[in-house]
Structure 1
Amino acid sequence: MFRSLAIALVAACALLGAPQLDAQVLPPVVPGFANVPQTPGTLLSPLMAPNQGRTSILAYHNGILYSVPESPDSLAGSDLQVRSWSLTDPSSPQETAQLGIARQPINAHGYYQRNADLVLGDTFNGLSWTFRAGAPGVNQRMAFPGFQCAGERGCLFYPHFVTPTLWSYGSLDGTVSLQRLGQTLASWNLLSETGVVGHPFIIGNRLYFASDMTRTGVASYDISDPMQPVLLDVLTAGGPGGYWPEIFGLDDRLYLVFPYRTNGNGFRLVDITDPTDLAFIGDYPLPGAEAMYAQFQDEYAFIGDHKIDLRTRQSVLYLDGAHRPRPGGGVGVDTSQFALPLGNLLITGGSGEHQGMAVWAHQAEPDTRGPSVGFHVPTDGQTGYPLEAPITLLIHETLESKTIVPSVSLIVRPLSGAALAGQVTFSFDDVLTFTPDAPLTPNTTYEVLVVAGGIKDAAGNGIEGLRFVFSTGAHVTADEAPVIDAFNAAGSPALVGASIEFTVAAHDPEGQALEYRFDAGDGSPRSDWTTQTLYPHGYAAPGHFRAIIQSRDPGGRLASASRTVTVLSAFPAPAPASAAPLACLDDGSVAVVNPDNDSVARIASDGSNVLAERQNVCHRGQSGQ
């Protein structure tokens, strides 16, 4: 059935030039939680199942929530049972089943989904840990389908695999290997070549290694030829590293986020957009619970007790779990282990004295915003793309993976040709990997269509449509993306509250009409897509803000530009007409010349008193000089 519907969809897209979707094509999404107005920061539920242990994984699949404890660091007597939950009433989550004790998946802190399957581990003690979505709210336990592996972080990019995850908990010799479907393609000593001890990320034809808490840096590789990875850059400046690094994409930029809990508490940020020029952005302290892991929704990161706007790198919500009174009695909820956004709710997992699970509100309004692609490789217009590299999209939302259907909601095809069959993996940290079943064709232009409304998040919101093109040859034979000629900001620097007028000038090489979308970069909502080219905006606080304009043509191709504006509480006072020379005298006082006042003063060394002053010392009347 999907095949015939997909063929019809592809034909429609070819005629209309933009991704479109029949709402009946994909499985229905029925949210398993209340998506209603809330008060941000409210702890809605009691501490749930503290007896299960250190709650290191939370996964949502087809309306059902799963909590997975980790044995190390769980309190003595914890039962370590994996549980399933109903969130119909977020103030009182209902345990629906105890599912047994699992082998820890993805280094005990992650999982992945493949279409309708949630993989929480491989077979362990006779139990399978794969759950297949059926009707909304019904998941069936299935035999592990043999998706290569489920235990290491490098498993998240199936059928590609990087092993081992270098982590400083144990001894290591630094040797890593790049594999595909169990076949080793390359093996080398990462530690001796780069000095980096860290976690792997395969993003298209790029491979990044991001340091753990050793702060040994970031290394980037080109794996266009997977049998001969090419080292592109190593960054150690700023000491990049953290407990469990994550990757994040927003507005055509790609970042590594490093939560850390040693020598302080907070997160570090590295820009890896250009793999040949890695750049340390900053270190941002956070009070409260240990900053160990990060989850994302749209432009926000959830780390420890905080919701952070990654556009401004500022916390916009502080939970203060350690001191929070709990509904039903008691004080304290640990939020350090996992923070899963579900619509305007946040499900947290904790460790230690206040281990277990809890439900919070993180946003006032119901979640009606659809997901969007934050970054992708290949990039739009990229040429020379390797024939066997995956196509990677970063979608920062909790998705219903059953709606990620190749050839239906996600289409990869030769320009206006037939959709390619392939495999999709969506990792717990928002990396979607599509790998065609057969190698791409040389010297061919391909288009990727993220069909508007097709892929859906947990709240049932459909994704924003996107189209981009790339080529396996030297040239892209397709309509060109818009060109932004200028993006100006009249009135910057400005005072708080004063209007800055942003204007954009752009053109489409094919002469088509363009739409624009503006983001002020201060945490305020982005504008809708519109044809207007003037965007006045006043900033409510001082700082430096990265404003972004996007341009879109009718075919869905995008261009973006940014500029940094400065907002001040007050303009600095004007400098004096000339400097004031001074000299230290033997008695400890200071002589100061004030040319603007034609005087010399002798003042106390601490500046508290004027001891003497003489006027008209530079009077020119008699000497004529």
Structure 2
Amino acid sequence: MLDYLNGYLYMDSRDVPANGQSGARQLWNISNPTQPVEYLSSRIPSGGVMHTAVRFLPDYRVNDDGFINVFDPLQMRAESPPAYLTGTAGARGLTVIPYEYSGGTSVRIYDTRLGKTVSKFSDYGFDGTPTPIGNLLIVAGIRGQSRGFAMYDIGDPANPALLDLISPGDSGWQDYVPGYEYAVWKHYLVLPVPLLGGSLGFVDFSDPTYLRHAGFIDGTLGPSRYAQFQDNSMFVGTAKYDMSPLLSGGVPSLAQNFPNHDGEYMLPLGNLIASAENSEQGRVNRFTIFAHQAAPDTTKPAVAFHNPPSGANYQHVKTRVGVVMHETLNYATINATTFRVYPTAGGADVAGTRNAHDKDILTFTPDSDLAPSTNYTVSLSGIKDVSGNTMTPYAFQFRTAGPGDPPPVIITQITASAYPAPVGSSVNFTATASGGQGAREYRWDFGDGSNRTAWSSSTTASHTYAARGHYRVKVQVRDTTGRYPKTSSDRGDRHPTGPGRSRRPKGSQIIVDAANRRVWTVNPDSNTVTVINADTLAKVAEYLVSKDPRSLAQDASGRIWVTSLDADRIDILSRTTGALVDGFQLPPGSRPHDIVFNGDKSYAYVSLQGSGKVVRINSGHHGQCDARRRRPRPRWR
């Protein structure tokens, strides 16, 4: 990936030599872009080289768990910032000092000032990566390995609150996979499809409590895993797109294609693009610089999104400020003078840390709690992009919560008039809630792809389902304070399986052994499976399996089959002891992901991401019966 450090183009690679040190770091002088000069090439131990990076301003760059001191780019060195106990985020996480956010099947928020975990949660239900924007936390499906998108309020990091969720099984979500390295443009999540060409999906989070599919582009040009932005332009694959149609209900339009460019990471630098490629996908390892427009870039950097919103009340005293600016910025201009937070009524500026994320997100975190029941102003001015354009000053206000605030809304119950219910019959849902200020209003999502209901004072709502299925029903409740609505959910199968018909099988990261009252789940990060008591929710055991487990299924004998993506293998475990009782190897490069059994469990069907096939395997002797090609990177929906 690429970065711009104090006048130099910085480039790192995941190439790992035999000595085990991390990938190469290169520094280039591009003052004459037609003749770049390499100033430095080195291997820095412990510096991460994953797909996303954050600058802890002014001196540090962090990628994965690895910090590099870049105060003097010509003398970069591996060094963690003093006074912070870092190193817990992991490859799927993110470090935004002073917090670290680990990803995967659960998110853990870790305060590096205290050296302890302040919260851990997994109710989003998929394998995801976290990205904070102020008091919001995005959790999105990770790098083509799972579907889903969740939004949390983390104003109080110790008590994250789910605002909304597009879950892996939700109607209409399937076409948005497989997402790879997601990006943020204004109030949209951009989900690129991996490797050479594909699609882009867009999710609108302008209302963080109502996530909506906003559009889809098929047939993107070139490798489309990493999207970068400049103002209203998106650079992905080999193309430049105009993003502005998205704001009026359309989809981004192709503005320009660069057919002689096959780089995968395009960094806008004024009217130029610096583009890097590596040999990971069989392409030439190189970088190029070319013009994406003839005229110089004279557009001033502008605030595209921020949280807290303007005029927000009841913000937690641990509030962080997140600002999105779609420019490659001159990091040296982001400091305590240009990015300020201070009491609106007067007083000293709030002391805190400043971070710059390569997803165009600036973050301010106060060193200590803000004062309760106090108005604060956020002021940005003097920040420049790499072309020297200075932003137009921008400011907004928010107010912190205090001891005299109304109590929060609490949802205590959701009930249904029929459970399960026949297809075509009306089902009545009722929500019970308390707390808040003034009259409460309710909004329902019935989980079948239909629009949410309008806000209503009625605690009940009715819906008729047109097809059999397992639907997630959600209700949101708000009061008159303007705080985020409280969101609850009820996972219920609203439609029974009819006589003589079986429920459609699905691959899953979580299965239930009903006879033993045990829940099994895969842990791709740790190469294990966990067993949980279905009644007490207590952890029973954790068993080691092959590398990168992805899906489970239970055969006719009760044994647990586990696919392992990176090991090209299926392990078979005892349902009672977790011992490896059987297993078999698949051809190299198969990359097995999902697994399901047919109705009588005589055959297992396994999706192979490596070959794009689905194979049928005899569950008795493990012989492969046949294989059929499906769409690239097949999944069960």
> Displacement, 1:155?
2.9
Shift of 1:435: 0.6
Q: Give the alignment of 1:343-382 within 5 angstroms.
A: 343-351=270-278, 352-382=282-312
| 1:247 pairs with 2:184 | yes
Tell me the distance in 1 between the aligned counterparts of 2:23 and 2:152: 39
Q: Report the Cα offset of residue 140 of structure 1.
A: 6.0
Q: Which residues in structure 2 correspond to 1:90-105 (within 5 Å)? A: 90-103=33-46, 105=48
- What is the CA distance between 1:429 and its match in structure 2? 1.6
Structure 1 residue 86 and structure 2 residue 19: aligned? no
Q: Give the 3 Å change call, closer, same or farther, for CA 178–86 of structure 1 in structure 2.
A: same
Question: Equivalents in 1 of 2:211, 2:62: separation in Å?
Answer: 33
Paired position in structure 2 for 1:66: 10
Q: Check whether the contact 2:342–2:378 (CA below 8 A) recurs between aligned residues.
A: yes
2:319 equivalent in structure 1? 389
Residue 455 (structure 1) aligned with residue 399 (structure 2): no
Q: State the one-letter code of the partner of 1:319.
A: F
2:221 aligns to what SS in structure 1?
A: coil
Which deviations, in whole Å up to 9, do the C-alpha atoms of 1:197-235 show, x marking residues without a partner? 221111222222111324522111222332222222111
Contact 2:181–2:225 under 8 Å retained in 1: yes
Deviation at 1:263, TM superposition (A): 10
Q: State the partner residue of 1:584.
A: none
Out of 395, 411, 425, the position equivalent to 1:467 is 395
Measure, in 1, the Cα distance between the counterparts of 2:118 and 2:287.
41
TM-score by length of 1: 0.57
Alignment correspondent of 2:266: 339
Is the CA contact (8 Å cut-off) linking 2:196 and 2:222 kept in structure 1?
Answer: no
Q: Which one of the candidate residues 200, 210, 217 is aligned to 1:284?
A: 217
What is residue 487 of structure 1 aligned with on the other side?
Answer: none
Alpha-carbon offset, residue 195 of structure 1: 2.5
**Residue 217 and residue 347 in structure 1: after superposition, are their counterparts in 2 closer, same or farther (change >3 A)?**
same
Partner of 1:438: 368
Give the match for residue 59 of structure 2: 117
Distance 1:473 1:389 in 2: 10
CA drift at 1:122: 8.7
User: Quick check: 1:234 aligned with 2:173?
Assistant: no
Specify which of 96, 104, 127 is matched with residue 157 of structure 1.
Answer: 96
- Tell me by how many angstroms 1:361 deviates: 0.6
Instruction: Give how far 1:362 is off.
Output: 0.8
CA contact (8 A) 2:15 2:22 kept: no
Cα-to-partner distance string for 1:250-304 (whole Å, 9 max, x where unaligned) = xxxx111011037961211000121210001111124431211111111221111
Query: How many positions carry a matched residue from both structures?
Result: 379
Decide whether the 8 Å contact of 1:122 with 1:129 is kept in 2.
Answer: no
Matched, 1:300 2:228: no
In the alignment, is residue 223 of structure 1 matched against residue 154 of structure 2?
yes
Q: Are the equivalent residues in 1 in contact too, given 2:199–2:217 (CA < 8 A)?
A: yes
2:71 alignment partner, SS class: strand
> Residues 496-526 of structure 1, C-alpha deviation per residue, up to 9 Å, x if partnerless?
xxxxxxxxxxxxxxxxxxxxxxxxxxxxxxx
Contact 1:335/1:350 (<8 A) preserved: yes
Mark the CA change 1:229 to 1:353 in structure 2 (over 3 Å): closer, same or farther. closer
Question: How far apart in 2 are the matches of 1:194 and 1:143?
Answer: 34
Larger CA Rg, structure 1 vs 2: 1
- Within 5 Å, which residues of 2 pair with 1:421-432? 421-432=351-362
Residue identity matched to 1:244: E
Provide the rounded CA distance (Å) in 2 between the counterparts of 1:350 and 1:292.
Answer: 12
The residue correspondences of 1:35-74 to structure 2 (distance < 5 A) are 57-71=1-15
SS of structure 2 residue aligned to 1:288: strand
1:198 aligned to 128, 134, 155, which one?
A: 128
Q: Secondary structure at the match of 2:132?
A: strand
Q: What amino acid is aligned across from residue 400 of structure 1 in structure 2?
A: N
Name the CA distance, whole Å, in 2 between partners of 1:344 and 1:299: 14
The whole-number CA distance in structure 1 between the counterparts of 2:57 and 2:184 is 22
Relative to structure 1, is the Cα distance of residues 246 and 96 closer, same or farther in structure 2, using a 3 angstrom cutoff? same
Q: Which runs of 5+ in 2 are unaligned?
A: 246-251, 404-637
| Identity, % of aligned positions | 32
- What is the letter of the counterpart of residue 393 of structure 1? V
Letter in 2 for 1:387: V
CA–CA separation in structure 2 for the residues paired with 1:71 and 1:118: 22
Distance 1:467 1:348, change over 3 A: same
> Residue 116 and residue 104 in structure 1: after superposition, are their counterparts in 2 closer, same or farther (change >3 A)?
closer
Identify which of 82, 92, 109 aligns with 1:178: 109
Provide the secondary structure at the position in 1 that maps to 2:315: coil
Higher percent of residues as strand: 2
Higher relative contact order (CA 8 A, sep 6+): 1
Equivalent AA in structure 1 for residue 389 of structure 2: N
Amino acid at match of 2:165: V
Look up the SS of the partner of 2:387 in the other structure.
coil
Does 2:340 match 1:411?
A: yes
The match for 1:211 is 141
CA distance in 1, matches of 2:288, 2:183: 23
Q: CA deviation at 1:111?
A: 2.1
Q: Distance in 2 between matches of 1:141 and 1:104?
A: 9
Contact 1:84–1:99 at 8 Å: present in 2 too?
no
With normalisation by structure 2, the TM-score equals 0.56
- 1:581 corresponds to: none
Map 1:440-589 to 2 at 5 A: 440-451=370-381, 454-473=382-401
CA distance in 2, matches of 1:264, 1:319: 14
Q: CA RMSD in A?
A: 2.8
In the aligned structure 2, how far is the partner of 1:418 from the partner of 1:101? Answer: 40
Amino acid at match of 2:26: R
1:325-381 Cα deviation digits (max 9, x unpaired): xxxxxxxx4312x11111111011113332211111112211122211110001000
Change in CA separation of 1:89 and 1:264 when aligned onto 2, cut-off 3 Å = closer
Relative distance call for 1:442 and 1:369 in structure 2 (3 A) is same
Partners of 1:383 and 1:474 within 8 A in 2: no
Q: Whole-Å Cα distance in 2 between the matches of residues 465 and 307 of structure 1?
A: 28
